[in-house]
Structure 1
Amino acid sequence: MLITGCSSGIGLYCAQQLPKHNYHVIASCRYLSDVIRLQEMGLNCIQLDLACQQSIEQGWQQALKMANGKISYLFNNGAYGQPGALEDLPTEALRQQFEINLFGWHHLSRLVIAHMLERQQGRIIQNSSVLGLVAMKYRGAYNASKFALEGYTDTLRLELADTPIKISLIEPGPIISSFRKNAKIAFEQSIKLEQSRHQAAYQHTLKRLGQEGASSRFTLPASAVFNALLHALEAPSPKVRYYVTSPTHLFALLRRCLPVTWLDAILRKS
């Protein structure tokens, strides 16, 4: 089994827990320093940078070699969030968001699907987000990448319906991880705060991103995602979507039931 984005949070937790359930896990990280750290922790880990097609191809070949030429599961997890109002977001920052959160996943998935079709078995699980269901202010780049992933994965499921390959989406809300820390770095690199009409809101954003620990009382540990992943891997008929955390369940329901203007009024306050 290959998992992307294992340097911390959900990916690391799942890579540590799945071997206890008899899975041969190959973790992957973008940076070599993280690969070495995970190897020292006793994990099988390779370097795979989702922003680089050559790295994806090399990582895939290395993973295949480590798995004796047989990989039956892919957990696409590696991603990050680029904060900032869309009007302030450089096009290159939006492009980079899609490069890692979608295009890299596509390039890897094509390699994996060809392998799974040849072997006539396999499961692909995509880690999306509640922000693939509803949009929130100052998260436009991430919203867009996850909305795109939702449509991409739905299409993939339809196109592979006549094959043994099963496709699932996991849609977490707030989970304890390094996501906010990495988002703060991306914000500071891409957004010119002093030139924006959103300065006051950005101060709140920076404060939120700089907080340690849980972001809200609804925040769950990575084990909540792991439980959904394990079901998607082992259930004879895995779910199409796994909602994780109360906010995801709530917003999935509100999106179906409320008029757009009512839902917008709620989201503007979020």
Structure 2
Amino acid sequence: MSKSILITGCSSGIGLYCAQELHARGYLVVASCRQLDDVARLKSLGLHCVQLDLACTQSIHKGLKEALSITNGQLDALFNNGAYGQPGAVEDLPTDALRQQFEVNLFGWHELTCQVIKVMRKQPSGRIIQNSSVLGLVCLPYRGAYNASKFALEGLTDTLRLELKNTEIQISLIEPGPIESKFRANALIAFTKNIDIESSSHKQNYLAQQQRLESQTKPQPFTLGPEAVLKSLIHALESKRAKPRYYVTFPTYLFGYLKRILSTRMLDRLLNKSK
């Protein structure tokens, strides 16, 4: 019988690529998207797909119920991937924008994960893989909302791994640096929606950030394709003993190492040059 997996955030980028590749690998993949038109598009590609909005409790429960109807009530794996980045200096972030960042990037993942654990305890096994970020290890300026959501995700996931130690449910974090996706385009939408650029003390930095986000031709240095995440995801799914953490891309390895050896002030100087 094919192993089943639910993947969130599959409209594009990492989620879509991994859903298609795991489907080709023989998995029973249930992809999920927030928008109904994306659900229809993925179904036209031959994938099982359900609507699941991580900012809506009702949608999370409805989406999981539909996914389980496809997998006959079993679920071998959950890949939490759906997220976005809210740029902006901490002092300029409307609290509602920060709250929305956590709603999608953390609270929705928590709610879905807890429901999936109930299913996996009955089986009684499974794999839960959380797609975090290098910004769950170190912070960059003007990414405070996203930094905070990923730091919180890492803490919650590490705790969950400790609490499930005596079960057959394995927990892993994947921590990518820059990956080819629509992340920058979605960040630009959130930036222009929630940040008052003109009246901010950070206006000049914002204009530079806006230019970077609008760039369609210059990817960030060391950017890899989504296949780099897939490689780690497959190991987390298929190895006898999944790793607690998977570093993906050179920046993650670099900053993971530098965080261990540099003082906070030295690391701050380096990170401020990376903004």
Corresponding residue number in structure 2 for 1:228: 232
Q: Give the partner amino acid of 2:42.
A: L
Q: Deviations over 1:211-231 (max 9, x none)?
A: 115522300000000000000
2:20 corresponds to which residue? 16
- Indicate the residue corresponding to 1:83 in structure 2: 87
TM-score (norm 1): 0.99
Aligned mates of 1:77, 1:16 — CA distance in 2: 14
**1:32 equivalent in alignment to 2:20:** no
Percent of aligned positions that are identical: 62
Counterpart for residue 195 of structure 2: 191
Deviates more, 1:212-221 or 1:194-203: 212-221
Q: Aligned equivalents of 2:34 and 2:218: distance in 1?
A: 25
Q: Look up the SS of the partner of 1:57 in the other structure.
A: helix
Task: Structure 1 unaligned segments of length 5 or more: list them.
Answer: none
Q: Aligned partners of 1:55, 1:98: CA distance in 2, in Å?
A: 17
Preserved contact between residue 176 and residue 213 of structure 1 (Cα < 8 Å): no
Query: Aligned residue for 2:246?
Result: 242
Residue in structure 2 matched with residue 167 of structure 1 by the alignment: 171
Deviations 1:117-142 (A, max 9, x none): 01111000000000000000000000
Q: Distance between the aligned counterparts of 2:37 and 2:201, measured in 1?
A: 38
- Alpha-carbon RMSD across the aligned residues, in angstroms, is 0.7
Pairing partner for 2:133 from 129, 132, 138 = 129
TM-score, normalization by structure 2: 0.97
Measured after TM superposition, the shift of residue 158 of structure 1 is 0.1
Tell me if 1:215 matches 2:203.
Answer: no
Aligned length: 270
Counterpart CA distance in 2 for 1:83 and 1:74 is: 28
Partner of 2:157: 153
Match of 2:74 in 1: 70
Does residue 113 (structure 1) correspond to residue 117 (structure 2)? The answer is yes
Is the partner of 1:122 in helix, strand or coil?
strand
Q: Which residue of 2 aligns with 1:267?
A: 271
Could you give the per-residue CA deviations for residues 75-129 of structure 1, whole angstroms, max 9, x where no partner exists?
A: 0000000000010000000000000000000000010001000111100000000
Task: String of CA shifts for 1:182-222, please: whole Å, max 9, x gaps.
Answer: 00000010001011011100011111111115522300000
Code of the aligned partner of 2:74: K
2:86–2:145: 8 Å Cα contact kept in structure 1?
yes
Separation in structure 1 between the aligned mates of residue 81 and residue 234 of structure 2, nearest angstrom: 14
State the Cα deviation string for residues 26-45 of structure 1 (Å, max 9, x = none).
00001111111111111110
Find the aligned partners of 1:122 and 1:98 in 2 and give their Cα distance.
25
> Which of the numbers 52, 63, 85 marks the counterpart of 1:48?
52
1: distance between equivalents of 2:114 and 2:221? Answer: 39
Q: Distance in 1 between matches of 2:215 and 2:19?
A: 26
**Partner amino acid, structure 1, of 2:168:** P
CA distance in 1, matches of 2:247, 2:141: 21
